[in-house]
Amino acid sequence: MSIESRKIKHMVRNILTARPDEIGCVECLERMDRFVEMELEGKSPAEAMPLVHDHLTRCADCREEYEALLEALQHLHEA
């Protein structure tokens, strides 16, 4: 069985950057609406909400939902 090197690299990075104060998916989802709005307002959500940003870099499922929400709201605001 082959495992793509990018998956291994991602796993190793995730291990070596693990931090004790990481938040889980529930907390990330709770705060995602504010995070997305800050992004749309041109602010720096990663600085204001670093734990949400950190979770989004680690969790593919939450990142997928965040990107979809951002896409939806960008278009709705443009319309």
Partner 1 sequence: MQERTNQQWLAALSEPGTEQELALADLRVFLVRGLSYAMADRPQVGEADIEGFVQDALLKILDSLASFRGESRFTTWAQKIAVHEAFTELRRKRWENVSLDKMIARYEGDFAPSILTDPDPSPEQRVTQRGLLETVERLIVEELTERQRQAIVAVVFAGMPTAEVARRMGTNRNALYKLMHDARQRLKRRMQAEGISLEDALSAFETSSGKRSSTHHV
Q: Which residues bind partner 1 (CB under 8 A)?
A: 1-18, 20, 22, 24-27, 29-34, 36-37, 59-61, 64-65, 68-69, 71-76, 79
CB of 14 to partner 1, least distance (A): 6
Instruction: CB nearer to partner 1: give 13 or 44.
Output: 13
Structure tokens at 50: 């670093």
- Distance, CA of 44 to CA of 48 (rounded, Å): 6
CB of 37 to partner 1, least distance (A): 5
